Every structure is written in structure tokens, then in C-alpha cells.
Structure 1
Amino acid sequence: MNTIKLLPDLLVSQIAAGEVVERPASALKEILENSVDAGASEIAVHIFQGGTKLVRVSDNGAGISRDDLPLALARHATSKIDSLEDLQKVASLGFRGEALASIASVSRLRLASRGAEQKHAWRIEAEGGRLSEPEPAALAKGTTVEMHNLYFNTPARRKFLKTDGTEFSHCEEAFRRIALSRPDIAFTLQHNGTARHHLRAADTRRRIAAILGDEFSQTSIFIDEQAADLRLWGSAALPAYSRSSRDAQYFFVNGRFVRDKVIAHALREAYRDVLHLDRHPAFVLFLEMNAGSVDVNVHPTKTEVRFRDPRALHQFIFHTIDKALASPQSLSAASVSVPGAAGSRQETSSRAVFGQATGAPSYPRQSFMPLVPPVPAAGVAQPQSFYSTLFGSDTPGQKLSEVPQTPADFEKQDVPPLGFALGQLLGIYILSQNERGLLVVDMHAAHERILYEKLKTALDDHVLFTQPLLIPAIFQADSLDIATAEENRDILTELGFEIAMLSPTMLTVRSVPAALKDADVVKLARDVLREIHEFGASRVLTSRRNEMLSTMACHGAVRANRMLTIPEMNALLREMEATERSGQCNHGRPTWFEISLADLDKMFMRGR
């Protein structure tokens, strides 16, 4: 029978290192957190061979006294907590007191530090857990930690490390997270002697732009909401900047980068109605809350946390982001992609104004001249009453009769975010001009979003008006559709439909939602019945409600090759400006693109 015995201290430290020091990036994270906790205003990072050869972090923080240097490399020794009460409301990033000890057990570590009141610095070295005596060293201020030859004494662990490039990418990501969390600190990062990042102390927005780039900065909205002891602030990218991976998602709780299922689900739900298929949102968000309401002592790496009231937190995050993305004002601040703009960035900010682009000539403010006369375009054009029936007699703040028709009319009015219509392209796109340049609007996608939002609001307010059909629509149905219609009359009525059995093989549609009266009634009814019998009536009005309304809106939206007049196009643009989430259709695709005047100048090589 095997006997129980105590493990040697070195082996205990190496086991702990397996949890804390997964790779060089893990060690870098722990050392950077110590520098931040020390009150440093400047932190320099030097990495060689992806961090396997050397990771050096220098700061100008408070420093460590000579007598405390051996304790800094001892297990479970820390200056950041003293009691259980401190552990229940941790305010520092590092507090476990085992990071440096774990790193020292699997590397050759050198720690040099000088406190503010010390005459000179002191240095201590550790190799495989064995400590040297402190000795004098040259250091102006703060602390320098050098980690050499990671896993030199545990070659089995070293075999699992990836290439230098891969390991450096992980180190760079750890660096980005810390740099984003503390924009007031200046950071530098070098790899193999080459500078990769030089970040000066700045405000949050500038630090975000410096790390994630101007594209993210220009396509994001700034959020700052507070409720009770919760505050959520930072930048959330509009759906136009969606990503194919989660590489631009940064969430911080009380300054600590975390990955949490509750938070991830709330953010995913907030973006669900505006993102296309498998695209992922991008954000840099900071959550501030009472330290006693979150437990950060869940995992050795401290990236997982536990909340006292996760449900309330979920609702707060979801509603904050959902409200920000739904605001029609985001139209005027959105940045949208400009496919194929010669010599320009792929992402162009709609904040650009006339005459500010480099090398572009200055233009006076122009009056807006329609390309075509304000009469129905060639083809089967709809009368002006067509949009009156779709949107109501008036659009928000403007009647169809008041839509600008002549150059003088355009000059009298302020130019709205989506500008004024110029004409229609191939019966599919609306061309519009605003103060910044040319807009191309997918009229079907835009109208689809408008109807979708109207249906959601009407269903929520229980005022979904129905339109009786002058001639009921009759269609042949199978037994499953007939049974679904008979068994779910109340659900269909709530959705605005009156569908009845005409015979054992026929159904008749007597009324539909008023907003969809111009849709293909038979096809619309078939799709609604299919949704109900496929997913069940209860889910159709709960978890599948938005999918159902999206299907209904798609049927009612204007179709391609339907020619519109200038007033009808302008009515659609004004509706978009007043509609939540109108930058994307129900499937997450963009509803409009903007090409700035500067990009047009580049395409035609003006100003050269």
C-alpha cells in the first residue's frame, strides 16, 4: 500500500506553476499586473524569442525594499491583502502572492528593485526555486523583472510551447489587455530588439484607437450608462465593423480583463438582431461595480469571476448595449465600408467632411440637385400614395408633400444624415447625397428593417392593426397546415392574421397585419403556418418571435425592380433615420454604404 507523503517545496511550486504559467504570455501578464499595482506611470517590456528566451519588464513604480525581496519570490506572500475581509473586496490586480514564486520555480529569474527612500537598488536571483542573497544593483527607480529560459528545468513542458511567432502573439495580446485597462500609463513593447508598440499616456478613446486602430475607433459608439452601483462605459463597434472571430472583444471588470459566460451572453443577445450569421461584435467595455459584488478569487489566472447577482448584471449590460445600438442617431456617427474605393481605406468614417481629406480640394456647400425630374421614373412606377400606405400618411416630422422637390427646396433645409435622394439604380438601390458624399441604399433591406421594427413595437404594445382583405386569398393546404391553423387561431389573431378552413383541403386568409397588406398573402400565410408547426406556438411568441416577425417583414418589404419616385425615396430615407437599427437589415446585412467626397476625388485623381 502506498503511503501519503508531503511533496517537496520545489515540486509544489512547479505544480502551481502549471496553473499560473501556461506559457510566456501568462508570466508576462502576472508581472505586468504587479507593475500596475505598484503605481507605475511607465512600463517597458522587452521580449526575445517569443518570451521563451527572455521576458523583461521594467517599471518606475514604488519598488521593493531589500528585506522584502526574498519574500517577493516566496509562495503565498503578498502586500495586497491581510485578511478575509480584504479577500472579499479585492481592489488590486495581483493578490494571490504566488505568481513570482511559480515563475521562479520554472525559470531563471532576476528581480532588481529600488524603493523611493533607498540609496541604491538591490537584486536577487532565483534558479529553479533556489534564491541568492540580495546584492546591490544599478537601477534609477522602480522594479525590473527578468525571466530567462522558461521551463529550462521542466523540458516536458517546454515541448508544448509553439513557435516563437505564436508565443509572441500571445504575449502581445496580454500586453494589449493591460494597456487598454490603464490608458493613463505609458507602455512600450519590443520583440527581438524591434519596437512593436509605443503608447503614450492618453485618454481611453485615444488608447483604444492606438491599439485597435482608427477603423474601430471610427465605427464605434461611446457608451456611458450607470444604474445603482453599476457603471458600463467604453466603445462598442457598430455592426459594420463585425469580425469573423472574437479577436477584438475586451471586457474589464474593475480594471481586470475577464471572460465570463453571463457577460458574453448579454453582449451576444444585444448584437443578435443586427449581426449577420457567424459574425462577432467588437468592443472595449469597462464595468465598474462594488468590489464586494464580484468574486475574483475563482481561478488562478484571475480571468474568470463570479457575480453576486448575475441576472441583474445580465439585464443591465444587455439593455445598455441594445439601447446604444438601437439609437437612430448612430446613423450620423456610423462608419461604413467602401468596397473598392481606389487608393483609400476599406473603412471610411462618415464623420469626414468636405475639404478635410489630404490632397483633396476644398468644396463650397452645394445645393442638392436631383439627377432625374421629380416624376415617376421609367418603368412601372408606384404613385405617391404607395408609400403613404406603407408608412402612414406622414413620415416622422415631414409629409410627403413637403419632401424637397427643387434645388431651392434643398437649400432651405438642413441636410439630414442620409441626405436627399438623387435617383434609383437598376430598380434596386437608391442613390442619395449628403454633406459628406454619396450614399447607396438597398431599398428592400432598408424597408425590411423598418417593417420589422414596426411589427416588434406593435406586438409589444398589443396594437398590431389588421387589414381585412376585400377578396380573401384562398389556397390549397395539406392536413398539417389546416390543423395548425385550426389549433392556433389565438396565436394567429395576435399576429394579425385571420386564417380559416374553407374545406378539408383549402384555407382562406381573410385579414393580415396592416403593414403587410401589399405582400404575397398566400406565401406569407404558408411561412407563418410553417413556423408555428415547426417550432410550436409558445416559442413563436417567445424565443422565436423575432425570427417570425423578420419573416413577415421580408414578405412586406418593397421588392427589387419596383421603381420609386423621388418623394418616395426620400420618405424611405427619413423613415430609416427614425428607425432603430436601420443600418442593418433583419439578417445583419448593411442597408447602406457611404462613399465620401475624398474617396471620389481619389478615384478620379482630383487634386493631383
Structure 2
Amino acid sequence: MADIINLLPDNIANQIAAGEVIQRPASAVKELLENAVDAGATEIQLIIRDAGKELVQVIDNGKGMSETDARMSFERHATSKIQTIEDLFRIRTMGFRGEALASIAAVSQVELKTRLRGTDLGTYIEIDNSAVRKQEPCQTAEGTSIAMKNLFFNVPARRNFLKSNAAEMRHIVDEFIRVAMAFPQVQFTLNNNNTQLFYLEKGSLKQRIISILGQHYNARLVSVKETTDYMDVNGFVGKPETAKKTRGDQFFFVNNRFIKSPYLHHAIMNAFAEMIPADSYPLYVLFIDLDPEHIDINVHPTKQEIKFDDDKVMYAFVQSAVKHALAQFSITPTLDFELDPGIQQLDAINKPFTEQQQTQSASGSLYKTFTQANQAHVIDNSSNLKHWKDLYDIGKSDSFSTSRPAADTGRSSVSSPLYNEEPVPDATPRTSSFSASSSLIDERWQDTTIDQKVPVQVHQRYILSQIKSGFILIDQQAAHERILYERYQRALLDSPVPVQQNLFPQTLPLLPADAALISEMLPDLLVLGYDLEPFGNNTFVVRGTPADIQSGNEQASIEGLLEQFKNFSNDLKVNRREQLVRSMARNNAIPAGKSLTTREMQNVIDELFACAMPTSSPGGKYTYISFKLSDLAKMFG
């Protein structure tokens, strides 16, 4: 029998290895930026064309490479970071495995210019599909310039799997931001199609956060700083009011390397428990510094997932550090007594506290209770509180809850009047708000016919509506999301959403990445009712919005739409129009917690059952659940 196992040719092996490292243009951006940082650069430029498909170029002023090193850098597993096996457990650099440039050269055409500091001439190398086409001396600035052109030109099947330019550009910006955030002492610039998206000056971490995420965070950051013998944690978290419904502003760095850790994210969420809604995500930029021997960063091709030797210690320390920061700094609104004119007019502010008044106050029982040691729990029986039993008796007689013996059915009695089907003898007339509201509901239902019951809102989240066979319970947010989704789908096909022109057009400043994203969506946004016009410098003029957007909420609506779109573009493998429609539907849907009038509830019911698919929201969530009378009868025995 013939042998069947053969060694793969180098070019095939290189492409397989490249598939682990270079999955899209953003992967190359990450590797090239990290190499520039490792080279000691203080100024780094990233140049992008056609969302990285045509060109990804990184220019740095680092130490550069010699002629031999420049050639060796493209060999597989060639690195200056690792000499012995022990070095693998003391890694402080960003790159170390030596597969980045070899992988890039396997799937693209590469041009490298580099000059070692202190030398007169540099080196130019041209590589095509892992093969060196040209190598010669050249004149170039100190540092390194590496250009990756025509990504996946030799693997067209993989090129076809790339997403739209907007989606790929978003991934590139994400990688750029992660590296730039980790090294605020380095100047970074990003140019896309000859337009500058970012110019980040050297500065402090706080300045870097604000320049990337926006000026509105300037007064909304809380400093985190804890130091122990085992590890250090420092950085910033956002105040609770900065929490968003979508992810994106969460950054963990371990020894200056960006990582993804759902485990540590859970620790942050626990620290913010009861300060933010359960479905919101707080902003945080946290740097963890510890001995490299306590972590393993070589467990994932992109090095974004690492292992700690003691996860529980990390969890507890991060959680306590954030809790301590939130407790140490004022994160709740404070009363400003100097600015409130109403408070200034109070007698306690205007009139002096005389010695006679001080003596009278000090002799009172209340003063003594709070000033004498160990007396905070004492009740003064000499005060009017000795009649507290009389107050209890009065409240008892007025209570809406009247107990009565349980019927001999094996079930306990229910004292609320909503459940008493027959009058209780000698019961006191009930005037509480509980029984009043229940009687209003009863009247409202009695005034309608059997088949046309008035809908009722339950906890400002659900709509209860009676049908012949029982009743249905509608999730108002999911139902309205389905309604809007189908409305916007029709708009894209043949029925554009009416635009309500603003009397006074507003300017909308955006972050560079968001401005690039929204620029590509302008035609579709116009069909969906948003009339936006570029105004230069990452700013747009809002001339009109959909007619159902409340006046004054135009900016919040567009910003919310962007957040939803970015969330969908990461999670759903659908085209850009579908992402946009789903984003708009979710962003503009009636939120849980909003009170609805009877007419509004009835409109939701009518429009939901006029939909082509009324049973679920675009995301697959049930819009309503039906309850049959026969099922209810079984539930009640």
C-alpha cells in the first residue's frame, strides 16, 4: 500500500497559517500597529484605501531594521522577542510569535521600506504571494513603512467573504482605537481614502479617552486606581448616566494588551449593580498590570483571549476596585445650596440661630436621643408616641384587607376585595386607592361589549386584550418593533417614509468612525425619513426626520440608530439595508416602561395583526402570548 501522508508545500502552509492570523483587513491593521509600537515609535500613521481591501499602510518613526532583519522578518516564526522557552513566560511586548508579517505576505502584495537609526541608507523589499520580487537599498526616513496591497488577491474565495466597506471599516477603526487607547504616549493618525478620521496627540489616558470617545465624557469619568503586591488596576469608568444599551465602550488591557474577558466584564457589571439598568453597559477603560508569569497569552491566534492562573482573585480585585472608585467619587447629583434662590429664602439660612434657640433645642428629647452615646435606638415614652397603639387601631379599621375564615376547600382565604366574590359581613367601607383603581378597571370593562374589550396596560410593559377564547398578552416593545420593521421594509421597496422638515436645521457632530459609517448610509436613510447633509469635519446638518420622531429628539434618535446599527453589524450576517431597517425598528420602538393611552394600545393591536408576521419581532422574540379560558380553568383547579 502506498504512503499517503505528505508535507504541505510552503505556499499552502503559509496560506493556512495566514487564515488563523489575517481574517480580514482589520487583522493586518492590528498586527502592523503592534509591530510599530514594539519598535519604539512615538508617531504612527495608518493609511487605508477601500476599507483595507486595496491598501493598508503603517508608517512609524521607530528604530527600523537592518537589511538582514528586514528580509528575515517575513520568514515564519522569525522573531526578536523569544530566545529561550523561559522568555515565553515573561512576555511584555505586543508581538512575539513571528507569524504576522509572514501571514500578511502570504495573502497580499507587500512593500517594505525601513532604515535603522543612525544609518544612511534604508532597505526596500517587495514581496508577492510570499515570494521576494525585489530587494535593494533606498532613501527613506528612519523607521519603517509597510504597505499591504490587494488583500486576498490570490485567495478570491476568502475575499468574497469580506463584508461591506462600512462593516470592514468599522472593524479597522475598532482595532485602531484599541491600540491607540493602550498607548496614549504615542501619536496616532488614521486616514481613510485621503480623509483624516483620527488625529490623536500624545497625552494622558483621560485625554486619549476623550479624544476617541467624545468631549461629552470629560466630566463623566471616574478614576480607578488600586495597587497591591500581586497586581495593579488603573484607568477610568464612566458614571452611571453614561451607560448605553449597546456594547462598544468597554476596554480591558492586561499589560497594555487589549483582551476580551466576559468573566471580568461580569465583575464590572456586578460593581454597577442597581446603578444602571440590567440591559445597559457601562463605559470602562481599565488597565491590569501583573507579572507575566501569572498569565498565558498564547492561547488564541489573535491574542485577545488570555488565561489567568487565578481567575477568582482577578474577579474579586477588579470588582472591588471599581466599587471603591464609585464610592470614593461623587456619582450622584448634589444639592447646590448656593444657586437655589428658594433655599436661600428659608429661615434656617436667613435668620441667625440665637443662644436661646440653641438652649431650647438642646433640652429637647430628640436632640438628646441623637447626641447621647448608644441612645439612637431609644424611644422616648414621654412624647406623643405613647398613643401609637391608637394610630394602629385606626389604621386597622380602615384597612382594605378584611380577613375571614377560609372555606373548607383546602385553599387559604384571599383577603383582597378583588378576589372576594361575595360581600363580607360587617366590613368597613373601602376607600383606599387599591380598591378605587380596581373598581375603575371593572367599570371600564363592563362598559364594553364582550368582543370589544378595552385593552389594559400591565406594568407599562404589556398590553392585555380580551378575545373570544380568552385573552392575549402583548409585549408592547416587541410588537411595535415588528410594526416598524415591516413599515420600513415597505419604505425601501416602494413607499418612502414621509420626511418632516425641521424649521431650524440642527448640526450633528459625530465621532470620525460614526461619520464615515453614516456617510455610506445617506441614500437609504433618506428613503427611511432622515434628511441629512454632510457639513464637513465629521458634522452633518439634520434637515428632516421621520414624521413620527418627536420634535427635539432628532439628535438622540440618530445617535441611538447608530448604536443599534453598530451592534447589529457585529452580530448579524445580513446585508447593510437589513441591518439598517432592524436598527431603526429597535431604536424607534415604544420602550418598556412607557405609559400608553387606550387609543395607542388599540393602534398597536390593530397594526400588529395587520403585519405579515405578527407572531415575532425581527429578532425572533415573541410579540404576544395567548391564554385560553379552558387553560385558565385548569390553572384554578
Give, as a single letter, the amino acid of the residue that structure 1 aligns with 2:183: R
> Aligned pair 1:183/2:126, yes or no?
no
Picking from 341, 348, 370, the partner of 2:342 is: 370
Q: Distance in 1 between the 2:223 and 2:402 partners?
A: 51
Q: Which moved more, 1:286-295 or 1:321-330?
A: 321-330
Provide closer, same or farther for how the CA distance between residues 476 and 227 of structure 1 changes in structure 2, counting only shifts above 3 A. Answer: farther
Give, as a single letter, the amino acid of the residue that structure 2 aligns with 1:154: V
Deviations 1:16-71 (A, max 9, x none): 11111111010010000000000001101111010100011000111111011221
Q: Distance in 2 between the 1:12 and 1:409 partners?
A: 88
Give, as a single letter, the amino acid of the residue that structure 2 aligns with 1:256: R
Picking from 342, 348, 353, the partner of 1:405 is: 348
What residue in structure 1 maps to residue 267 of structure 2? 266
Provide closer, same or farther for how the CA distance between residues 328 and 225 of structure 1 changes in structure 2, counting only shifts above 3 A. Answer: closer
> Aligned pair 1:72/2:58, yes or no?
no
Computing the radius of gyration over CA atoms, which structure comes out larger, 1 or 2? 2
Q: Distance in 2 between the 1:36 and 1:144 partners?
A: 13
1:26-425 matches, within 5 Å, as 26-327=27-328, 329-331=330-332, 368-370=340-342, 405-407=348-350
| Structure 2 gap ranges (5+) | 354-387, 417-431, 436-591, 594-637
Give the deviation of 1:215 after TM superposition. 1.6
Give, as a single letter, the amino acid of the residue that structure 1 aligns with 2:285: V
SS at the partner of 2:287? strand
Provide closer, same or farther for how the CA distance between residues 504 and 41 of structure 1 changes in structure 2, counting only shifts above 3 A. Answer: closer
Give the deviation of 1:368 after TM superposition. 4.4
Q: Distance in 2 between the 1:477 and 1:186 partners?
A: 78
Q: Which moved more, 1:316-325 or 1:76-85?
A: 316-325
Deviations 1:215-274 (A, max 9, x none): 223211111111222111111001100112111111111100000122111112112221
Give, as a single letter, the amino acid of the residue that structure 2 aligns with 1:202: G
Give, as a single letter, the amino acid of the residue that structure 2 aligns with 1:18: G
- Report if aligned partners of 1:47, 1:190 keep a CA contact under 8 Å in 2: yes
SS at the partner of 2:341? coil
Give, as a single letter, the amino acid of the residue that structure 2 aligns with 1:252: F
What residue in structure 2 maps to residue 392 of structure 1? none
Provide closer, same or farther for how the CA distance between residues 47 and 371 of structure 1 changes in structure 2, counting only shifts above 3 A. Answer: same
Deviations 1:492-533 (A, max 9, x none): xxxxxxxxxxx953799xxxxxxxxxxx9x99xxxxxxxxxx
Q: Distance in 2 between the 1:66 and 1:317 partners?
A: 46
Q: Distance in 2 between the 1:54 and 1:213 partners?
A: 28
> Aligned pair 1:505/2:477, yes or no?
no
Q: Distance in 2 between the 1:271 and 1:169 partners?
A: 28
Provide closer, same or farther for how the CA distance between residues 164 and 405 of structure 1 changes in structure 2, counting only shifts above 3 A. Answer: same
Provide closer, same or farther for how the CA distance between residues 372 and 16 of structure 1 changes in structure 2, counting only shifts above 3 A. Answer: same
Give, as a single letter, the amino acid of the residue that structure 1 aligns with 2:342: P
Give, as a single letter, the amino acid of the residue that structure 2 aligns with 1:369: P
Give, as a single letter, the amino acid of the residue that structure 1 aligns with 2:222: I
Q: Percent identity?
A: 36
| Structure 1 gap ranges (5+) | 334-349, 354-364, 375-403, 411-466, 484-502, 509-519, 524-587, 590-608
Give, as a single letter, the amino acid of the residue that structure 2 aligns with 1:59: D
Q: Distance in 1 between the 2:345 and 2:227 partners?
A: 50
Q: Distance in 1 between the 2:197 and 2:65 partners?
A: 29
Give, as a single letter, the amino acid of the residue that structure 2 aligns with 1:175: F
- Report if aligned partners of 1:66, 1:134 keep a CA contact under 8 Å in 2: no
Q: Distance in 1 between the 2:80 and 2:415 partners?
A: 77
Provide closer, same or farther for how the CA distance between residues 408 and 290 of structure 1 changes in structure 2, counting only shifts above 3 A. Answer: farther
Q: Distance in 2 between the 1:409 and 1:477 partners?
A: 58
What residue in structure 2 maps to residue 513 of structure 1? none
Q: Distance in 1 between the 2:204 and 2:218 partners?
A: 13
- Report if aligned partners of 2:129, 2:154 keep a CA contact under 8 Å in 1: yes
Q: Distance in 2 between the 1:124 and 1:276 partners?
A: 55
Give the deviation of 1:325 after TM superposition. 2.2
Give the deviation of 1:154 after TM superposition. 0.1
- Report if aligned partners of 2:38, 2:93 keep a CA contact under 8 Å in 1: yes
- Report if aligned partners of 1:112, 1:122 keep a CA contact under 8 Å in 2: yes
Q: Which moved more, 1:45-54 or 1:108-117?
A: 108-117
Provide closer, same or farther for how the CA distance between residues 57 and 366 of structure 1 changes in structure 2, counting only shifts above 3 A. Answer: same
Give the deviation of 1:290 after TM superposition. 1.0
Q: Distance in 2 between the 1:152 and 1:284 partners?
A: 37
- Report if aligned partners of 2:113, 2:144 keep a CA contact under 8 Å in 1: yes
Give, as a single letter, the amino acid of the residue that structure 2 aligns with 1:370: G
SS at the partner of 1:167? helix
Provide closer, same or farther for how the CA distance between residues 475 and 302 of structure 1 changes in structure 2, counting only shifts above 3 A. Answer: farther
SS at the partner of 1:211? helix
- Report if aligned partners of 1:46, 1:190 keep a CA contact under 8 Å in 2: yes
- Report if aligned partners of 1:233, 1:286 keep a CA contact under 8 Å in 2: yes
Deviations 1:189-238 (A, max 9, x none): 10011111111111111111111112223211111111222111111001
Report the TM-score when normalising by structure 2: 0.55
Q: Which moved more, 1:28-37 or 1:13-22?
A: 13-22
RMSD, aligned CA: 3.3
Give, as a single letter, the amino acid of the residue that structure 2 aligns with 1:31: L
What residue in structure 2 maps to residue 457 of structure 1? none
Give the deviation of 1:327 after TM superposition. 4.0
What residue in structure 1 maps to residue 6 of structure 2? 5
Report the TM-score when normalising by structure 1: 0.58
Give the deviation of 1:372 after TM superposition. 11
Give the deviation of 1:323 after TM superposition. 2.3
Provide closer, same or farther for how the CA distance between residues 130 and 263 of structure 1 changes in structure 2, counting only shifts above 3 A. Answer: same
Q: Distance in 2 between the 1:22 and 1:259 partners?
A: 18
Give the deviation of 1:322 after TM superposition. 1.8
Q: Distance in 1 between the 2:262 and 2:218 partners?
A: 26
Provide closer, same or farther for how the CA distance between residues 328 and 93 of structure 1 changes in structure 2, counting only shifts above 3 A. Answer: closer
Give, as a single letter, the amino acid of the residue that structure 2 aligns with 1:172: V
SS at the partner of 1:178? helix
- Report if aligned partners of 2:77, 2:97 keep a CA contact under 8 Å in 1: yes
SS at the partner of 2:342? coil
Q: Distance in 2 between the 1:285 and 1:309 partners?
A: 19
- Report if aligned partners of 2:127, 2:134 keep a CA contact under 8 Å in 1: no
Provide closer, same or farther for how the CA distance between residues 289 and 409 of structure 1 changes in structure 2, counting only shifts above 3 A. Answer: farther
Q: Distance in 1 between the 2:139 and 2:402 partners?
A: 90
Provide closer, same or farther for how the CA distance between residues 182 and 44 of structure 1 changes in structure 2, counting only shifts above 3 A. Answer: same
Q: Distance in 2 between the 1:406 and 1:332 partners?
A: 22
- Report if aligned partners of 2:112, 2:146 keep a CA contact under 8 Å in 1: yes
Q: Distance in 2 between the 1:310 and 1:478 partners?
A: 57
Provide closer, same or farther for how the CA distance between residues 367 and 77 of structure 1 changes in structure 2, counting only shifts above 3 A. Answer: closer
Provide closer, same or farther for how the CA distance between residues 196 and 319 of structure 1 changes in structure 2, counting only shifts above 3 A. Answer: same
Give, as a single letter, the amino acid of the residue that structure 2 aligns with 1:505: S
Deviations 1:386-416 (A, max 9, x none): xxxxxxxxxxxxxxxxxx6344579xxxxxx
Q: Distance in 2 between the 1:367 and 1:505 partners?
A: 56
SS at the partner of 1:405? helix
Q: Distance in 2 between the 1:310 and 1:253 partners?
A: 13
What residue in structure 2 maps to residue 398 of structure 1? none
Provide closer, same or farther for how the CA distance between residues 105 and 405 of structure 1 changes in structure 2, counting only shifts above 3 A. Answer: same
SS at the partner of 1:22? coil
- Report if aligned partners of 1:367, 1:407 keep a CA contact under 8 Å in 2: no
Deviations 1:548-585 (A, max 9, x none): xxxxxxxxxxxxxxxxxxxxxxxxxxxxxxxxxxxxxx
- Report if aligned partners of 1:368, 1:407 keep a CA contact under 8 Å in 2: no
Q: Distance in 1 between the 2:212 and 2:235 partners?
A: 14
Provide closer, same or farther for how the CA distance between residues 373 and 63 of structure 1 changes in structure 2, counting only shifts above 3 A. Answer: closer
What residue in structure 1 maps to residue 23 of structure 2? 22
Give the deviation of 1:278 after TM superposition. 1.2
- Report if aligned partners of 1:69, 1:134 keep a CA contact under 8 Å in 2: no
Give the deviation of 1:132 after TM superposition. 3.2
Q: Distance in 2 between the 1:41 and 1:179 partners?
A: 11
